[in-house]
Structure formats: structure tokens, C-alpha cells
Amino acid sequence: MVKGIAKYLLAAAVLSGLVYSCSTQRNTSLSRNHHALTTRYNVKFNAEQSFLKGLDQIEKSYKADYSDLLPVFIISDPAMQKVASGNMKACIDKCQKAIKTHSIRVKPDKKPARNAPEKERRFYEQEEFNPVMPSVFLLMAKAELYGGDFESAVSTCSYIQQHFSHDKKTCDASKIYQAIAYYIDDWLYEAENIFVKMNDEGFDSSLNALYSTAYGDLLLHQGRTQEAIPLIEIGLSNTHRKVEKQRYTYLLAQLYQSVGQDDKSYSYYKKVTNLSPSYEMDLNARIHQTEVNHHISQKAVVRKLLRMSRNKNNADYLDAIHYAIGNYYLNDKDTVQAIEQYKTAIAKSTLGGHYKAQSLITLGGLYYDDENFRPAVPCYKEGNPLIEDDNSIKEMVAERDRILQILEPYVETIFVQDSLQAMAALPEERRSAIIDSIIEVVKKQLKEEARKKSQEEALSANEEFTKENVKESDEPKATVSNGDNSWYFYNEASLKQGKKDFEKNWGKRSLEDNWRIRNKGTFFSDLNASLNGTDETPPADGTTTAPDGLLTDIEAESTATDAPEFEASDDPTEPGYYLKDLPFTEEQIAESNAQIAEAMFNAAKVYREQMENDDLALRTFAELERRFPADTLWLPETYYLCYLILMQHHENEKAEDNRHKLLTNHPNTEQAEILSDSLFIQKMIDMYAHEDSMYNETYRHFISNHADSVKANYSYVEANYSRSTLMPKFMFLRAMEAVKDGDGELFLRLITEITAKYPNCDLKDMVSQMLAYWNAGLRPQGFNGFYEGYVDIDSLMLDSISNQFTYQPKEPHLMVLSYPSDSTNANHLLFDVALYNFTNFLIRDYELSLEQLAKHDVLVIRPFENAEDVTRYASWMNFQTERPEEKYPGLVILIISESNFKLLNTTTFGDNITPIEAYIRFYRKHYLGEEIE
């Protein structure tokens, strides 16, 4: 009995001794080996497994865009940065557990002697004694990086470099991962500093591949492709992971293609196809091979691509194939065939991705460059949203789309009216034959649609019957989850379920635009096809405004034709449907011509003002004059604008010819009166030289309440510079002065005139809102200015201080209302400003905040686009017709730019000068235009 107890006691003593000797509070060879072994094969192993699972999840979820450069690191794609956050978090948690339970930071009991070896002394000086712990921290940094938490990754890498300096390999690796986190987060300068410094100081040779790949990726982010290529090649030669080898090979093919080294590009694309890549990568590589292989004929390339298009496995990639074919034809100067291929690419696109976007923009560009703007409109309208924001052509595409939206109604009017006149001018037999052929097509379409509808209704009825007889538990689940976290357009299970749900509600429909519309044919497209044998639309620049041959018919039949007898109809299978809008009588032709003339004039102005294409504008004005020589509505302004354009281009003789036509044919017009002035050109030169400075001067007079000066300047500009582009702004200032004077009639006349004469000016939205309020019965209140009563202190000191501020009127601004807190109820002031915003003409969503500006309590109103914006706001400010300073004595209102506001918040101006006092002198001088003595 006693011996048994003794055995247990001895065993417990030995066990407790072992536990104590292996504690993280003891730094012995036994404890270090124990915790290193436990960390490596227990906690760290599990963390690595979670990390690898996350990495695999990222690679499986990534959907490559083969039209753009593939990424070196997939996590540089923002869509991939959170995909594996769950597995990466599990990895981080396990690393943190390892650090918490197995980190040994206590020093060994025995301190090395002074003459001890360097290695022994360095070992004693280190902070961490578990040899596996540096790799744990590095793994945690990698998990943070691949989990999209770049700030934490940078922080962890910095910690490694500070606390594990004895482990050079780990520190060097952490520097590379820190640089990756930097440049993915757009800190390119900091990342490059790391790489350059590492290269100068040297790093562990085992990291050559990682360093080269990461540095090459940074160079690609900076657009330095030629420098990046050899570094990516090093990364390719050192990677053993299949997906990376495929991606790097494809990327190198793209890079060599981008720098014009097509032979090397072809070689790498060929290598891709030998690496057993995914079907999509293999297909894209083969497509791009045809672009860089100059050793085979164009016909052979096209035949090869067409064979690929017939492969049913390529059904989702037909847009890419036909886009490539279109590029080949375009390079061969065969524009007609190129256009057909781009149209085919657009029509057969199923995923609506990059290739459809590029086909749309390339096709639109061909039309645009050929000045055939009508068919270019839908190309840019549909293509603009498909272009990524970071694409280099995005700005150009967006600008063209904007211009074409303005131009569209004018070119459409010209096209439609010319088509109608062409149809009306045809002999009745030919016209009837065309209409009959169109009706025959429409009847076939309607018959086919009726058949499909009947089929859909039968399917729908069958499905309803099936639904009623199937138990609810047998219904397929609405939500499909297969572990695929990719975007639903790329998730096959989601697509199948969505298709099923769609057919349940709508039946089987063709995959096409406007699938809800039964009759998609239009009279004009059918008319063009009948007349020309093609659906090509004519140029819309005014030089040819109808299909080939039609303009001649219109000119030949300039008089009205006998209208056939018909009964108007809304049924597209009846002739009256097509005849009802045709202009047969003189009055109808005159109305049609009036629409064409107006549209041509406005189109020419768009070419001049929006496209800055003076040559096209002049040609369109000339066509307007040729087609409508008796016009009196648009020709005077046409001659005037042509005169200005030609004088600007120093074609004085042609300009004088237009001036002579204007004075001879339209002597009693405003334009003739202007050009009859022998000093007109000099006045125009003076206007361009002085209009800006005169407006700025008038604006300062306005905000300083110098009403007489505002009125005098406006009268002078109206008399001498009435064609100034700043005229609506002068009129607006004069309208505001009319408000102060209580002259509602003048105010209404001026803002109405601005709306009518300058519909596209910067003030259009504001003036339209004012008119809306006026029409709703609201009236602006007359009042005087309120910029007065500022504090004066030592001039020399104020001059010195005010020089610290900068006058930047174009910068975003805010308004500061400084109020005495002991006598002003801040909440009442806040309410009055909010009420003013809701009831005043200049309603916008402003942010109001009560803040502290040094020693002052202030109400800050933001944001304003610039100084002019906030000054206009201030000029109207009143609290139920009461001036702000009258209702709140001691209130000081200041206009401040964002940068000056920051300066006021961060700078001390002296014990006796508050920030508000320091700013007032600067404000009065630059914003109010006062002479400070």
C-alpha cells in the first residue's frame, strides 16, 4: 500500500518537473525544443492548412479577363480580396494562438560572458527564443495580405522586421510581402523604396523568385512594362504551382504583344496551350495567337477563326472570335467586312463582357470617324457602361457618349424627315410595292410571334398544372449553393436556376434586346432595306441626309405630289399605317423642311461647340444654305457663325462673303446689325480679352453691395459684348440686383431670357428651379447686403498674418457663421439656416454642423463647389426676410476655402488674435474687393 502511494507521488513529481521545465516562463534547451515541436506540428500546421485552403478558394473563384493583362497576384483584383476571408481568419486565429501559448520571451538563466562567442551573445540578445515563432508571424502576415487586410499585413511585417532582425530570411520575406501590400493599396512610392533598398543591401537568395515577381508586378502597376518582363520571366522559371505557371506564361505573352514583340508573344501563347490550361484560357490563347502570327496569310487566319466559331463549345466566346476577325479585316483596310464582324460579335455576345464592349466602341469609332453619327449613338450608349472605369479609353468613350446624346435628336430628325420625304416623292407604284413588301415581312413576324405565344401559353399551363400536383417539399430550392462564391453571372448553378425561374414566368424567349416587344421592326429600317438592299444608315452630318439616291429624288420632286387616297391606321399590316406620316401636301413638306433646317442648324452648333470640329460645322451650315436658300429663321445666325469661324481661321475672304450675304439678304436682323459695325472685330477681340476681368469686377461689386456699379457694368456688356459666353452670368447678377431692389418683373424677365437664350449654360438648373418656384407662387424677398461690422486690430500684424492664407476661388469652399455663445441659441440658429435651405430658391443638400474653431463657436455649412457658389448662396441668405445679423447680434459670416479652413484649425496666430480676426482682413481684401488701409 505504502509502496503504491510512493510510486504515484514519484510519478506526479516527475510530471510536474517536466511541465515546469517546458513552461514558456523557462528558457532552456528542453523548453525551446518542446515549444518549437508543438508549434510546428500542431498549431502552425493547422494554420498552414487553413491558409492553403484559402489560397485554393481564391484561385477557384477567380474569373480571368483575358482581354486585359492577367494579374501577377490574384489578390490585386479587388473582387478577390475578401473571397477567402473565412479561411484566412482561421489561419490568423491559429497563429495568434501559437504566439499566445508558445512564445518564449524570457532570457536564458545563464548570461554569456564578455569573451563568449559572437553567436552565443547574439542569441542571448534576441527577443524571441522559440525558433518557429518568426515563421508563425510571417504566415499571419501572408494570411492578412491574402485576406485583403493590407494595413494589418503591413503592421505585422513591420513587427517582424523590428523584433526578429536575427532571422534575415524571414525579415527579407516580410519586406517583400509588405511591399506587395503597399502597392496593391496604391502606395507605389513606399513599395518601390523597399525593393530598391533590398536590392542595394542584398537579400536571401532563396527569395529571388518572390522578389522578382513582386517587383515586376509593381513595375506593371507603374506602367513600366519593358522593365517588368525579365522579372516576370524569373518568377515563371521558379514557380512550381500549375495555375501560377499558366497565368505567368499567358501574362508574358500579353506583355510581349503589348510592346510589339509578336514573335515572342506567339511563342508564349503556344506554351500556354501546352500547359493543359482551362478551356477558356486555351481558347483565348489561340485567338490571340492569330493576332501575333504574321507568318500566315490573313485569309488563313480568318478561316481558322471561323472554324473555331463553328465549334459548339465556343458558343459563349463568339464575341471574342468575331472581334478578332473584325480586327484582322480592319488591319487589312477592309472596313466593310470589319463592320460586319463587329456587328456579329455584338449580336452573338452571351456574357456581355469586354469583347462586346470593345466591339461596340470600335464599331462606334468607325462610324464616328466617318462622321456617320446616327449609328454611332447606340454603340457608345451601350458600350460606355461596359467599359471599366480604370480603362485608358474610358474618358474618351464617356465624352463621345455625352456629345452623341446631345446630337442624337438632331441627326434622327434629319434622317426620319428625309426618309419620309423620299418615300413620299417616289412614284405610287414603287411606293406601294415597298409598303407591300414591308407588310409581308410584318405579317410573317406576327404569325411567328403568335405561334410562339401559343406555345408559351401551353407550356405555362402545363407548368401550372404540374405545380398544383407537386408537393411543396418536392419544389426545387430557390437558392442554389455549391460553394462557388463567384459572381452569379459566372456561377453555373445560379445561371441554371435563374433560367428555370425566368422560363417559368415568361416562357421560352429568344436571347435578344427588347425581348418583351413583339414587333421589333421599324418602318425606317425596313424602308432603307427595301430601297437600298442594306440596313446601313447614311452619314448624319448634313451633307448626305438620306439613303443613297433619295436626296436626288427629293430635289427632283421639290413640289408637292398628289396624295394617294388612304385611310390612316394604327395597324402595321395596313398601308395607312405607313402612309399617314408621309408629307404629300405643300404644307406638310414645308413643316418637314422646317424640322430638317432646325435640326441641321443645331447639329452644326454641336459640331462647333461640343466636338470642336469647325470644318464639319461649316460643311453642315453650307448644306443648310444649299437646301434652304430662302430660309429666314436660321440663315442669319448661320452666316454670323460662319463669319466668326472663318475669321478665327484667318480665311478673311470667305468670311467677308458670308458677311456680305447676311447684310444683303437679311439686313434687318440682329446679326446684320452686329456685323454692320466696322469695329465689330476689334470689339470681339476686346471682349475676349476683357470679359473675364469685367465679370470678376462685376461679381466683386455684387458681393460688396455696390449696386450702381453692377448695373452700369451690365448695361455696358449688354451694349458692347452681347455675344459674350459670360452674358448669362452678367444677366444673373443683374437679376439678383433686381431682387434686392424688389423689382420682380425685371427679375422674371432676365431669368426667363437666360432659360430661353442659353439653355445649356452652367446656370440652367438653378434658373429653371427659380422659374419653377416663381410659377408655384413663391417670390424672392428684397433685402440689402450684410458684409459689414468687422473687427479691426493692428494693421501691420494683420497684414503679416493674412499672408499665410491663399486665395483659390476654384477650390471647394464652406461658410462659417461665428456667433457669441453666451447670447445666441445655437439650435435656433441651426433651425433658421435649415429652414432657409428648404424655402429659398437655391435649395440643395447642405451639411450643417456646430463646431469649435479655436476660441469661437461656429456653425459650418458645406459643401460649396467654389467661391462663386458660396457667395451666391450668401447673397440670398435671410431668416424670414430678416437679415442674419439683425436676428442674431454679433453674428459674423465668412466664406472660407477648404485649405484656409484647415489652416485656421491648426495655426496659432498669437495670444491677442483669434483665428476669425486673423482671417477677416484677408477675406475683406480678396472676397469683397475692399481697399484695406
Q: Average of pLDDT values for 397-413?
A: 95
Whether the Cβ atoms of residue 87 and residue 51 lie closer than 8 Å to each other:
yes
221-255 residue pLDDT tens: 998 999 999 999 998 998 888 889 999 999 999 99
Contact 150, 142 (CB under 8 A): no
pLDDT for residue 545: 40
Residue 540 confidence (pLDDT) above 50: no
Q: CA-to-CA distance for 355 and 317, rounded, in angstroms? A: 9
Q: Are 537 and 548 in contact (CB under 8 A)?
A: no
Residue 498 grid coordinates: 435563374
More confident: 390 or 192? 192
Among 33-42, 445-454, 606-615, 918-927, name the one with the lowest average pLDDT: 33-42
Structure confidence by residue, pLDDT tens digits, 315-339: 888 898 899 899 888 878 899 999 9
Share of the chain above pLDDT 70, in %: 75
Cell of 611: 466636338
Lowest mean pLDDT segment, chosen from 140-154, 449-463, 729-743: 449-463
The yes-or-no verdict on residue 624 having pLDDT over 60 is yes
Euclidean distance between CA atoms 141 and 95, whole angstroms: 10
DSSP state letter for 882: B
Please give the pLDDT value at position 370: 94
Closest CA to 641 of 677, 602, 679, 678: 602
For residue 812, give the C-alpha cell: 471647394
Residue 867: CB partners within 8 Å, gap ≥ 6?
A: 809, 810, 811, 813, 895, 897, 927
Maximum average pLDDT range among 158-162, 595-599, 739-743, 897-901: 595-599
pLDDT of residue 388: 79
Instruction: Calculate mean pLDDT across residues 830-836.
Output: 79
Q: Cell numbers 436626288 label which residue? A: 552
| Mean pLDDT within 812-822 | 85
Q: What is the mean pLDDT of residues 627-648?
A: 92
Count other Cβ atoms within 10 Å, centred on residue 84.
28
Q: Are 911 and 902 in contact (CB under 8 A)?
A: no
Q: Tell me: pLDDT of 602 over 70.
A: yes
CA-to-CA distance for 295 and 305, rounded, in angstroms?
16
846 pLDDT band, cuts 50/70/90, is confident
Express each pLDDT in 443-497 by its tens digit.
Answer: 999 888 888 888 877 776 666 666 555 554 454 444 444 445 544 554 556 666 6
> How crowded is the C-beta side of 307, counted as CA atoms within 13 Å?
8
The answer to whether 885 and 786 are in contact (CB under 8 A) is: yes
Q: What pLDDT is stored for residue 423 in this prediction?
A: 92
Q: Tell me the Cα Rg of the chain.
A: 38
What rounded mean pLDDT belongs to the chain? 79
pLDDT band of residue 535 (cuts 50, 70, 90) is very low
Lowest mean pLDDT among 24-28, 76-80, 688-692, 713-717: 24-28
Does 343 have pLDDT greater than 90? yes
Do 788 and 894 meet the contact criterion of CB atoms below 8 Å apart? no
- The residue type found at 336 is V
8 Å CB contact between 288 and 257: yes
Of 115-124, 527-536, 783-792, 909-918, the poorest mean pLDDT is in 783-792
Task: Give the whole-angstrom CA distance, residue 583 versus residue 581.
Answer: 6
Average pLDDT over residues 660-682: 84
Sheet containing strand 856-864, edge to edge, reads 847-853, 856-864, 813-819, 892-897
Instruction: Label residue 823 exposed, middle or buried (CB < 10 Å: 0-12, 13-18, 19+).
Output: exposed
Higher pLDDT among residues 508 and 587, named by residue: 587
pLDDT of 698 reads 86
**Whole-number pLDDT of residue 495:** 62
From 898, 900, 897, 899, select the one nearest 918 (Cα to Cα): 900
> What per-residue confidence (pLDDT) applies to 14?
41
Assess contact for 321 and 309: CB atoms under 8 A.
Answer: yes
Q: Which residue has the higher pLDDT, 47 or 621?
A: 621
Which residues of 172-231 form beta strands (DSSP E)? none
Residues 6+ apart with CB under 8 A from 576: 566, 567, 568, 569
